[in-house]
Structure 1
Amino acid sequence: MEIQLTNVPDQMGVRPNWCDLPSELWRKIGKSLRNRIDLLRFRSVCNSWRSSIPPSLPNSPSFPLQLPHPINPFTVVFLIQSTFYRIEPPYQPSSSSPKGWLIKVEGESNPSHSHPLRLLNPLSDRQFSNPLSSSPRILNLLDYRVLELYKSYCFQQFGFPVKKVVFFPTSCWSDGEDSVACCIYLEGKLALFKRGDKKWTLVDDENYYYDDVIVYKGQLYVTDRWGTISWVDISSLKLIQYSPPLCGVGHKKHLVELCGNLYVIDRYYDSEPRRLNYEAAVVDFKVYRLDEEWGTWVDVKDLEDRVFILGDSCSFSVSANDFAGYEGNCIFFTDMFDVGKYNLGDGSIKTFELDPCSSKLFWPPPSWLRM
């Protein structure tokens, strides 16, 4: 749900006064919001709206979050939260609204913590820097039209052998007592950590080849290297098979949700990669959609206007129509030290460093974004 309370004039040129809404609607609207930026916008309308709901639940988790090391439980690591946004310029009646820009912001949950806010490349997780200025830049998201797209998580430790981390529930109203973290580490071990636990619990100690994990419809789902999706029963710590094996012959499987459906993206390397550092180069992708009604896999040849984002700590989809310079039916991904774009139509691959036009998708920012 996106709330854009920008006092845009209606057809009669009259600016609406949002404070005149019936008071019984304030709390009902506020409780329907599910992310932090919408909650901030709601509470910034006026004093009455701000006092109608709290900023969040008192015991909701804040990040960085201290967790034990999954391999060495006597070592403490910090789980860092990042948020992907589609950011657009404010309303301008004299011109058509340009398309949005994709940004990734790390470390915004707990302003009192020493971990600073960082603006990252959405795919490579590298921090953007301005070589022409050493002064700090300020990005006020309340100055723009902003939509939260996705949250990702990683551990604040260099060389930490974790392939993927998810955390749920992610709603701004979520109760911290019910929070669960799930990670895939080393060659593909799957582990869970519930609030109050002293250490991570290994799930399915007979299979060490899990590739990806996702929160889908409020539940945890994982896929192994053969493309079999399983549902993780949090209470029993057991896996329940949810799909037939895909039997894809690629080297790494990604789980992505698109329009309410589960997709597996099979990544192919030019040689068998070493499981921990993936030194091989990407040469191809195959896309499959799970038909949940019939329990079968559908080979997808055309994503139309959709784009898959496969970053170091994320996997999600966006519409190319929402972003300037993006091309539909493509997969954007990390490949060793580069960022690549795969066209599902013709099978071509381009790296951003070798394609100046593609690199501008993330940096420098458009002229309307003041930093």
Structure 2
Amino acid sequence: MSMESQVRSMSEAMDLRPDWSDLPSELWPKIAKSLHNHVDLVRFRSVCKSWRSSIPSSLPNSPSLFPFQIPHPINPSKFVFLSQSTIYRIESPHQPSSSHKGWLIKLEGQSNPSQSHALRLLNPLSDRKISKSRISSRRILNLLDYRAVELYKSYSLQECGFPIKKVVFFPTSCWSDVNDSVACCIYQEGKLALFKRGDNQWRLVDDLNYYYDDVIVYKGQLYVTDRWGTISWIDTSSLKLIQYSPPLCGFGHKKHLVESCGNLFVVDRYYDSEPRRPYYEASVVNFKVYRLDEEWGTWVDVKDLEDRVFILGNSCNLSVSANDFAGYAGNCIFFIDIFDVRVYNLGDGSTMTLELDPCTSKLFWPPPSWLRI
């Protein structure tokens, strides 16, 4: 085909592209309501005036609602702030879209309404605030300037005064009413508590068992695992636990819940010695991974994650594809071991320390040259 013919074909193809602004107006709200995170909705509203006017600028559950005050889990006469953070895969606008190599960042809204700054940049694993000395003099990060994909939301209780193992909050869609939301936390040695918006205090779930390791929102439900790897889902109305899986009978010291490609996994963490107190973690020597076969109600011993990477952070666990990020290798588990960021290779059982200071891990920080904050 001649160059002239190629140009003519391209022109004809461009002429056949639909004009999205000509869509029937009644379709715009329906399209918008299929988008559940804030960045996608902002992009939707920025297309044109008609699209912008089709949905409200203020949504029932938006990042601006955070942080908000809730009672202290132990002392309901005191209040703490529930803050929200978002993990993004961010790509350079100048990078060819075919490369699909991104960078992992975590942004937290105000941890206290009295604070003046809007966002804080955090290390995705440790949740440590990135020092201002490590970023440029500009402090504005406009996600609309980049190709940004929201991966996960995590939550924490600020100014709580005692260690919290995990906090989750749902529903997280921008369209859900925050007044219908539920928070769940694991604290102290493994107590499980639930808080509904409008309650005066947290309510203990299963006061006979204080050995819960992790909680996750999976398929619109709260799921929790105890120290023996038994997964249950929480009936938020009755505060009852309904057993969902048989006991894993893993001999590790700590169980983590991870959702990956629509499946539920338990990552069993082994220490070199039994932890001597609830918040002390000895050095990690091994991991084992199990997938729950929900159809048969059995556990599958997983030896190969293929291109998946499991990230066990302080406030959330997530699974990403190594092909989507620069510097990552599949079949690996990233985790915090006492004070170090480390990588465990599930294939050969080897462990590598990335950096002594979690804030300077090269896979998470400093940012690439095209990212300037």
Query: When the two structures are superposed, what TM-score results if normalisation uses the length of structure 2?
Result: 0.90
- What residue in structure 2 maps to residue 370 of structure 1? 372
1:74 aligned residue (74, 77, 83):
77
Q: Which has the larger radius of gyration?
A: 2
What does 1:54-203 align with in structure 2 at a 5 Å threshold?
Answer: 54-58=56-60, 62-90=65-93, 97=99, 99-107=101-109, 114=116, 116-131=118-133, 135-157=137-159, 159-203=161-205
- Deviation, structure 1 residue 110: 10
Structure 1 letter corresponding to 2:143? L
- What residue in structure 1 maps to residue 341 of structure 2? 339
CA distance in 2, matches of 1:125, 1:133: 16
- Deviation, structure 1 residue 351: 1.4
Determine whether 1:256 maps to 2:258.
yes
SS of the aligned residue for 1:271 comes to coil
User: Which stretch of structure 1 is more off in the superposition, 60-69 or 317-326?
Assistant: 60-69
CA distance in 2, matches of 1:346, 1:159: 40
- Deviation, structure 1 residue 112: 8.9
Change over 3 Å in CA distance of 1:267–1:25 after alignment to 2: same
- What residue in structure 2 maps to residue 5 of structure 1? none
Unpaired runs of 5+ residues, structure 2, are 1-8
Change over 3 Å in CA distance of 1:336–1:244 after alignment to 2: same
- Deviation, structure 1 residue 126: 1.5
Change over 3 Å in CA distance of 1:321–1:271 after alignment to 2: same
- Deviation, structure 1 residue 65: 1.7
CA contact (8 A) 2:253 2:268 kept: yes
- What residue in structure 1 maps to residue 286 of structure 2? 284
1:216 aligned residue (218, 224, 235):
218
CA contact (8 A) 1:307 1:318 kept: yes
Change over 3 Å in CA distance of 1:59–1:109 after alignment to 2: farther
CA distance in 2, matches of 1:92, 1:111: 37
- Deviation, structure 1 residue 275: 4.2
After TM superposition, what 4+ stretches of structure 1 lie above 6 angstroms from structure 2? 108-113
Change over 3 Å in CA distance of 1:59–1:231 after alignment to 2: closer
Determine whether 1:234 maps to 2:236.
yes
Structure 1 letter corresponding to 2:226? D
Structure 1 letter corresponding to 2:332? C
Backbone CA RMSD of aligned residues: 2.5
Change over 3 Å in CA distance of 1:30–1:112 after alignment to 2: farther
What does 1:351-362 align with in structure 2 at a 5 Å threshold?
Answer: 351-353=353-355, 359-362=361-364
> Which deviations, in whole Å up to 9, do the C-alpha atoms of 1:44-78 show, x marking residues without a partner?
11111110011343476811021111111111000
SS of the aligned residue for 2:355 comes to helix
Change over 3 Å in CA distance of 1:192–1:45 after alignment to 2: same
CA contact (8 A) 1:91 1:97 kept: no
Query: When the two structures are superposed, what TM-score results if normalisation uses the length of structure 1?
Result: 0.90
CA contact (8 A) 1:80 1:107 kept: yes
> Which deviations, in whole Å up to 9, do the C-alpha atoms of 1:208-247 show, x marking residues without a partner?
0000000010000100000000010111000011000001
Change over 3 Å in CA distance of 1:86–1:276 after alignment to 2: same
CA distance in 2, matches of 1:144, 1:134: 17
CA contact (8 A) 1:89 1:97 kept: no
- What residue in structure 1 maps to residue 298 of structure 2? 296
Structure 2 letter corresponding to 1:236? S
Determine whether 1:46 maps to 2:48.
yes
CA distance in 1, matches of 2:131, 2:23: 43
> Which deviations, in whole Å up to 9, do the C-alpha atoms of 1:257-294 show, x marking residues without a partner?
11111100000111111343223111110000001111
Structure 2 letter corresponding to 1:74? S
Change over 3 Å in CA distance of 1:256–1:98 after alignment to 2: closer
CA distance in 2, matches of 1:91, 1:22: 34
Taking every aligned residue pair, what percent have the same amino acid on both sides? 79
User: Which stretch of structure 1 is more off in the superposition, 313-322 or 152-161?
Assistant: 152-161
CA contact (8 A) 1:154 1:313 kept: yes
CA distance in 2, matches of 1:89, 1:59: 29
- Deviation, structure 1 residue 28: 1.4
CA contact (8 A) 1:162 1:186 kept: yes
SS of the aligned residue for 1:273 comes to coil
- Deviation, structure 1 residue 24: 2.7
> Which deviations, in whole Å up to 9, do the C-alpha atoms of 1:187-218 show, x marking residues without a partner?
00000001110000000000000000000100
Change over 3 Å in CA distance of 1:300–1:56 after alignment to 2: farther
SS of the aligned residue for 2:133 comes to coil
